[in-house]
Amino acid sequence: MATPTEGPRQPATATPTEGPRQPAMTPELVLFPGPQIFSPVTTRSLMRNVLVALAPALVAGIVLFGLPALVVIATSIVSCVVFEWLWCRLRRVPATTGDLSAAVTGALLACCVPPTLPPYMVVVGAFIAVILVKGLFGGIGRNFANPAVVGRIALSVAFPAAMTTYVAPQVSLATPAGVDVVAGATVLAPSAAPLPTLALLVGTQAGTIGETSALAILLGLVWLLATRTITWHVPVTYVAGLALFAWATGHDPVAQVLSGGLLLGAVFMATDYATSPATASGKVVFGVGLALVTGLIRFWGNMNEGVAYAILLMNLLVPYIDYLTAARPLGAPRRRGRLGRRVAARRAAAASGTRQGGARHE
């Protein structure tokens, strides 16, 4: 019953501006913009595959260099995870440590440094990689460069002596007996004596924790390719390009490929999803650019190693490579350069003038 102040209740009708009332939308039909592709692959599963692929190199580093390597690896991984968690707490967002990306960054950073690096320097590199390179730019997928690469470069600039002092491995086929510490990038130095190929494959020479054993890195590459975590384009193009560059300039291609950080960078760092091109043709261009920059630094620069700097430089060029190698949608016009646009404009103007002249004659 209606109250005296309300008046009689009227049946619900649509106003002229509203139109007839429609039934409520059922939740069974929900439309989203494309791409509408569902996949069981997640960030956590991809990072887990990378950690499994890194395991042989990390184990080889511990076997070759002993407890100091284990301390550096643990310090790097724990520091990166803690910094990631603290950054999420500071921003009051859910913690992203569960996606394992911080652990991958810590493992890669540990592979790039000598086993004698003091722990506080490792913490500095982890802070630069996770906070300055990754966190400040929006987190995973938004970083402009590979965090571990920038962390390694920052440590090389801040602590050059510590980053170029390598301890002789416990099992060695290349370091002379009685030598405990090797200073400088002796393997790639122009005055360095050539090393046996077996020593380069196994990793029984002085170097960083994860870069010395080529066989361990190749095992990781096989796992990444088998699980389709990465494609072959960047690693193969990068390594083959540098080998060809070394052969053309009179250097030993085998030594250039198996020594230094080439294999580690080509397999684990240059293939980072966020900082590498999306298309297959773009990946090939990316790999060729990496090979050229690395060769230029190694052969004519004042540094014996150039992998990290080459990856950083090419990371900055990835947006342009993606733009130039983007796939053309079906039916879309071809992109033209400045000259092509001028030619097209002149043809359009000539065609328009022809049509106008024909109309006047008529």
Cα gap 156→128, rounded to integer Å: 13
Task: Write down the pTM of the prediction.
Answer: 0.79
The mean-pLDDT minimum among 111-115, 173-177, 252-256, 272-276 falls in: 173-177
CA 329 to chain centre: 27
Q: Is 152 exposed, middle or buried (0-12, 13-18, 19+ CB in 10 A)?
A: buried
pLDDT at 178: 47
pLDDT at 109: 96
pLDDT at 89: 94
Reported confidence tier of residue 171, pLDDT bands at 50, 70, 90: low
Q: Is the pLDDT of residue 292 over 80?
A: yes
Q: In terms of DSSP H, where are the helices of 180-279?
A: 197-202, 214-226, 233-248, 253-258, 262-264
Q: Model confidence over 80-89: pLDDT tens digits?
A: 999 999 999 9
pLDDT at 168: 79
Q: Residue 276 carries which side chain, given as an amino acid letter? A: S
Reported confidence tier of residue 304, pLDDT bands at 50, 70, 90: confident
The length of the chain in residues reads 362
Q: Model confidence over 186-220: pLDDT tens digits?
A: 566 665 666 778 888 888 888 899 998 999 999 99
Cα gap 112→123, rounded to integer Å: 14
Q: Count of alpha carbons within 13 Å of 16, Cβ hemisphere only?
A: 0
Q: Model confidence over 138-162: pLDDT tens digits?
A: 888 889 999 999 999 999 999 999 9
Reported confidence tier of residue 222, pLDDT bands at 50, 70, 90: very high
| 257, 235 contact by CB (below 8 A) | no
CATH topology of domain 43-324: Ammonium transporter fold (1.10.3430)
- Across 26-36, average pLDDT: 61
- Across 266-289, average pLDDT: 94
Reported confidence tier of residue 39, pLDDT bands at 50, 70, 90: confident
Q: Which helix (H) or strand (E) holds 309?
A: helix 307-324
pLDDT at 185: 46
What are the residue boundaries of the structural domains of the chain, listed by start?
A: 43-324
Q: Is the pLDDT of residue 6 over 60?
A: no
Cα gap 93→83, rounded to integer Å: 14
